[in-house]
Amino acid sequence: MSNLIFVLLLITMAGVLGILGAGMLGVVKSNDPRRSNNLMRWRVMLQGLAVVLFILLLVTRQH
């Protein structure tokens, strides 16, 4: 179970990194505030999911 959570955590963190990179490139290339806000929302949601998965990983590794 903890291996599955670990893999999901890695995928989520890679998603956060990808969205962060896309947001930074978007700032450099265009000035579309709606796209920037949408990317920021997705980044915050994925970071929240990563925190929850990290806590679940810690709980499952203790037992």
- pLDDT 10s digit of each residue in the chain, 63 long? 889 999 999 999 999 999 999 988 888 887 778 888 899 999 999 999 999 999 999 999 886
Res 46: pLDDT: 96
Question: What is the number of structural domains in the chain?
Answer: 1
CA distance 12 to 42: 11
> Which residues span the domain enclosing 21?
2-62
pTM of the model: 0.84
What is the number of H-type helices and E-type strands within the chain?
2, 0
Res 63: pLDDT: 65
Q: Which residues contact 44 (CB under 8 A, 6 or more apart)?
A: none
Contact between 9 and 57 (Cβ < 8 Å):
yes
